[in-house]
Amino acid sequence: MRLIAPFSILVLFSLLGTGYSQQRYYGSGLLENNLADFTEPAEFKIFEDTTPYSLLSQDLNDLPDFDLVNYYQSQGGSGSSASGGSAAGAGAATDPSVPLTQLQFQNVFVPSTYDSSGYANKFIVQPVIPFHLNSEFIPYHIMRPTIPIIAPSADPDGSAGSQSGLGDTTFLDVFVHPMEAMKTNVGLGYVAILPTATHPQLGLREWQVGPAIFAVTKVIPKWNLGAVVQAPISTQSDAYAIQMQPIAVRMLQDEWYVGWGDMLWTLDNQNGHYNMPINARVGKVFALGKHKLNIFVEPFYTPPGLRKGPADEWGVKLNVTFLFPEAKFGPLFGCGCR
């Protein structure tokens, strides 16, 4: 727990230095460059506030899908795209490459764990913070801290007993490059794990850092397809892990969606262990007053043949995410990145 106080102070000062504003991000001008391709021209109006454009056309679904999808991904604009959602809708909320500010709360309940007795429960706080850069090649990067609170851990009859407390904190920070011709966003960055676990049973409690990459494509209409891969390596021992999050989400009507879950697979570690749970989710983005929420439920099961070493046998995840499409952050620490 000694790291929690300075860690909180670091995050606070980082956010204060980002230059938060309500201005929309201009990006590479995809909207202006493709107006000639629109069969039905959209109507624009310049407001007196800091919002530069507002799409007022009532037939946005008839506009070219690719132009709007990339506009929303790079600029976080508002409206409805043909790919299945607005900038704060299902299409953006299920795409980790979109610069959409979010605050996620997840609860993972595990009634059964391999080689253990008892149940386990984990509560996760996961902000998603995009920082916009002054670069057309890399218009933004996305920081995603993951703070797990375990209460309790499994195996109360084991040698360590059941434990409750804070787990290790994970930072994922990826710089995003849109590949317009391929309708794809790719990212390269790092993953860092802070040893904040309050008990050895709740985390490795070692400093870890390693590369992280991802790719997300909308080449198939109404789908988000891709993967996130990260490889944290301990600086204090020979521990390492190669982890992957598959991405396959299908957009439905009225901001509903179904698809593969967001749980990480462990493909390998220093002990040769692996863990690949089968998981699926169904969710919906909806308005609650002036706020937008993304709620999904995600059951999962790990077959014996898809694990070696410790693993959850089955369980269910409940996610509630608050979406903040108007929240914009400038370059972290003032970096122009040109």
- Do residues 25 and 140 touch, judged by C-beta distance below 8 A? yes
- Do residues 263 and 281 touch, judged by C-beta distance below 8 A? no
pLDDT recorded at residue 75: 35
Q: Does pLDDT of 4 surpass 70?
A: no
Query: The whole model's pTM is what?
Result: 0.74
Alpha-carbon gap, residue 7 to 197, rounded angstroms:
13
Name residue 44's amino acid: F
Alpha-carbon gap, residue 121 to 315, rounded angstroms:
9
Q: Residue 333: which pLDDT band, with cuts at 50, 70 and 90?
A: low
Q: Which residue has the higher pLDDT, 316 or 78?
A: 316
Q: Does pLDDT of 138 surpass 80?
A: yes
Q: Which helix (H) or strand (E) holds 254?
A: none
Q: Tell me if the bond preceding 152 is cis, omega within 30° of 0.
A: yes
Burial 109-144 (b: 16+ CB within 10 A, else e): ebebbeebebbbbbebebbbbbbbbebeeebbbbbb
Q: pLDDT tens across 87-123, in order?
A: 579 999 999 999 999 999 999 999 999 988 889 999 9
Q: Does pLDDT of 235 surpass 90?
A: yes
- Do residues 61 and 68 touch, judged by C-beta distance below 8 A? no
CATH class of 4-333: mainly beta
pLDDT recorded at residue 18: 40
Q: Residue 51: which pLDDT band, with cuts at 50, 70 and 90?
A: very low
Domain map (residue ranges) of the chain = 4-333
Q: Which residue has the higher pLDDT, 40 or 322?
A: 322
pLDDT recorded at residue 160: 65
Alpha-carbon gap, residue 149 to 121, rounded angstroms:
9
